[in-house]
Every structure is written in C-alpha cells, then in structure tokens.
Amino acid sequence: MAETPFIIQEHQFQRIKNILARLCVECAARVVFLVDRDGQPIAFHGDIGDMDTTSFSSLAAGNVAATSSMAKLIGEDAFPGVVHEGERESIYISVIGRSLLVIVFDERSTVGLVKIRAKRTSFEIAALLDEATHDSDQYRINKNTFFSEITDEDIDSLFS
Amino acid sequence: MTFINYASREINCKIVYYGPGLCGKTTNLQYIYDSTAPQAKGKLISLATETDRTLFFDFMPLELGTVRGFKTRFHLYTVPGQVYYDASRKLILKGVDGVVFVADSQDERMDANIESLYNLEENLSSQGYDLKQLPYVLQLNKRDLPNVTPLEELTEELGRKGEPIFEAVATNGTGVFDTLKAVAKQVLTELRKG
Ligand SMILES: Nc1nc2c(ncn2[C@@H]2O[C@H](COP(=O)(O)OP(=O)(O)OP(=O)(O)O)[C@@H](O)[C@H]2O)c(=O)[nH]1
Ligand SMILES: [Mg+2]
C-alpha cells in the first residue's frame, strides 16, 4: 500500500508562499524553495530565471537523501543542514520534517545570515506542514471527496 | 507518496523503474522522453557514470493531462541496477507510488532478474511497503534478441500477483508506453480508493 496522499489546501499554500516571500527578503536570497523530501516541489518565491525548478527539487531531495545516509554511516543521525558554496551562487538546504527548505543566495548574503533566518522560519513551516498532514488524513477519512468521484473514463481519457 | 496541491490544482505521483543492471530502465525513460511533446515533459536528468551506467538515478517529470481539472504529473525515476548501488536504490524507493520491474529477457540474465526482484521486495518491505499492495507492472524487455527465455517461463519465475505483464523492446519503444500507462492507471485507481 502506498502512503496516504499529502494534500495542500489553497489557504495553506498561500501561507507557505507568504512565509517564503518574507524569508527571501530577510536573508537577501535569490530564491527560496520548499520541497518535499521525495523531491516534489511544494512552493517557491524569488527569481528563478529560466531555472528548471522540477529538476532542481528532485536533485535537492536526492542530495539530502544521499548526505543523510552518509551521516548514518558515520554514526550521525542526520545532517540537519547542508551547504554548497560556489564562486557566486550558493545553496543552503535545511531539513524540516517531511520537507526541505532550499535557499539559493549570492554574495549579497552570507551563510551565517541564511542559517539564522532559516532556523527561525523552520518552526513556522513545520507547524504548517503538520497541519496540512493532519488535514490530509482527515480528508481521506471523510470519504465524500473529489477523488472517489474519479471515474474509469476520467482515467482512460488521460491515455487516449 | 502522492502530493496534491489544491492551489495549483496538481496531482504529483512517483513511479520507479527497477531491475538488474543493463536491463533497459534508462532506455525506457529515454524513449518516453524522446517521444513526448515538449510541453508535456521537463528535463531528463541522468546521474550516470562515464560509461552511461546509472549512478544514482534518472529523473523525468511527465504531464499526462487533467483529471477533473487537476493536472496529473508523474515523476519517473530509474534506479541503478548494479548490485553494489543498493544504498541508492533504497533512497529512490522512498515515497514511491508505483513500480515497474524491467526484466532482461536474455537467458543468461535470469538469475540477475530473480536477484533484483528479490532485492526490490526486500527494499520495499524495509520501508514498510508491500509489493503485493503496490501498483506494479512487470516488463519483459529485450524481446528482439535471439537468446530470450520463453514468455511462460519468465512469467512463471517473475510473476508475483497477476500483475500486468508487457513484452518490450525499449530501444525501439515497443511496449514502453503500454507499461507506463498500466502503472499510471493503477496509481490513479489507488488514489480513488482512498
Ligand atoms: N537489443 C536490445 N537492447 C536494449 C534494449 N533495451 C535496452 N537495450 C540496451 O541495453 C543497454 C543498457 O540499457 P540501459 O537502459 O542503460 O540499462 P539500465 O537498466 O539503465 O542499466 P543500469 O543503469 O546499469 O541499471 C544499452 O546499450 C541499451 O541500448 C532492448 O529492448 N533490446
Ligand atoms: Mg540506467
């Protein structure tokens, strides 16, 4: 059995967007992403240019998955934060429960600043995601949902 | 794990192609990529060795269309088939919604198929999944080669639960989309069941 779906409602999505927007300003970042640990993009704010955000999200998740496993091999529980520093652009990834907060920044900011601001925001995001998780479960229990109304024809029409 | 966003009206699902080294997992994705309209797909990301063996994963997002106003997007992943990349395979199975097992039909790869399928069942159960409960399709690939094991024998040896089985030649696309459709359909049907 696959896990229960994770559902984000509109109002939660809006709140996430607001949090990311504020964080982006606070740490003078280029762009801030929230990504599911499995690699699904949840939301972002900032200047993405022509960046492929879907690929970026899946690679961020792969990156954290690999470093977390490395942590276990050396007796650490996890690396809660991962930094990649480049010549101009850098990336900070912070693990927040089931999600990853990914901050892309350049020389206008510093790792120190980004870490502090990310940490403060992470509590807010964790609470919001907990709420969404709880709602997702409720949503499934209340059987009369949108999904139970999907018909065979709906599914077949995707493949015609 | 299926991810549903009501704000952007999207359903995102994760499908993983599993199987022994060189069975044709990456070739499946490559074919899907090459024959899909640009607006329906994202980039094909391949984390591969110098010799084009998958090192960590291949990844490609694919949009199939809308169901009741929701865009359905499938995130397709392949695992590295080589035995010693087991740690990576485990990671990629996290959050999986559906699995395609690509078997290499050549006689001399029978043992590798059996071993890889066993490895899949183990890695799934170590994460709390059960192959029997998961959307699942078996693809018998490389049917164009002369030294292939007969269909019945492969089915007998590799079949697990009356799953859909497709013969394929991934290099020319035979059976590739039938396989994908069959697993995608099961994933969406699972979603409906709730
Ligand atoms: N004849 C034939 N060759 C195939 C077929 N499918 C794949 N191949 C070839 O088999 C080789 C390996 O294919 P890949 O798709 O890279 O195999 P893989 O399963 O991704 O291998 P790993 O990444 O090591 O796990 C390539 O040379 C393919 O061209 C097929 O149906 N018939
Ligand atoms: Mg490969």
What is the 3-state secondary structure of chain B?
CCEEECCCCEEEEEEEEECCCCCCHHHHHHHHHHCCCHHHECCCEEEECCCCCEEEEEEEEEEEEEECCEEEEEEEEECCCCHHHHHHHHHHHCCCCEEEEEEECEHHHHHHHHHHHHHHHHHHHCCCCCHHHCCEEEEEECCCCCCECCHHHHHHHHCCCCCCEEECECCCCECHHHHHHHHHHHHHHHHHHC
B139 CB under 6 A from ligand 1? Answer: no
The two structure tokens encoding residue A23: 């964080």
**Tens digits of residue pLDDT in B110-155:** 999 999 999 999 999 999 999 999 999 999 999 999 999 999 999 9
Q: What is the dihedral of CA A5, A139, A141, A133, to 10 degrees?
A: 60
Residue B76 near residue B59, CB atoms below 8 Å: yes
Residue B80 near residue B57, CB atoms below 8 Å: yes
Judged by CB atoms closer than 8 Å, whether chains meet at B6 and A65 is answered as: no
Minimal-distance CA residue of chain B relative to A7: B4
The confidence score (pLDDT) of residue A150 equals: 81
Residue B148 near residue B107, CB atoms below 8 Å: yes
Residue B181, pLDDT > 50, answer: yes
Tell me the pLDDT of chain B averaged across its residues: 95
Ligand 1 atom nearest B142 alpha carbon: 31
Residue ranges in chain A modelled with pLDDT below 70: 1-2, 140-146, 160
The confidence score (pLDDT) of residue A146 equals: 66
The confidence score (pLDDT) of residue A14 equals: 96
> How sure is the predictor about B194, in pLDDT bands with cuts at 50, 70 and 90?
low
Residue A117 near residue A27, CB atoms below 8 Å: yes
Judged by CB atoms closer than 8 Å, whether chains meet at A149 and B14 is answered as: no
The confidence score (pLDDT) of residue A5 equals: 84
Nearest to B137 by CA among B159, B113, B107: B159
Q: What is the ipTM of this complex?
A: 0.85
Judged by CB atoms closer than 8 Å, whether chains meet at B59 and A5 is answered as: no
**Tens digits of residue pLDDT in B40-67:** 998 999 999 989 999 999 999 999 999 8
Helices within chain A (DSSP H only): 10-26, 53-73, 111-141, 152-157
Cα B84 from Cα B36, distance rounded (Å): 33
Cα A96 from Cα A121, distance rounded (Å): 10
Nearest to A38 among B1, B67, B87 (CB): B1
Cα B127 from Cα A23, distance rounded (Å): 34
The confidence score (pLDDT) of residue B16 equals: 98
* DSSP per-residue codes, A45-87: EE--TT--HHHHHHHHHHHHHHHHHHHHHTT-S--SEEEEE-S
The two structure tokens encoding residue B124: 């799934």
**Rg, chain A, Cα only:** 18
Q: Which residues of A119-145 are buried (b: 16+ CB within 10 A; e: fewer)?
A: eebbebbeebbeebbeebeebeeeeee
The SS3 call for residue A41 is strand
Amino acid at A82: V
Residues A33, A37, A42, A48: is their CA dihedral positive or negative?
positive
Minimal-distance CA residue of chain B relative to A5: B2
The confidence score (pLDDT) of residue A1 equals: 45
B88 CB under 6 A from ligand 1? Answer: no
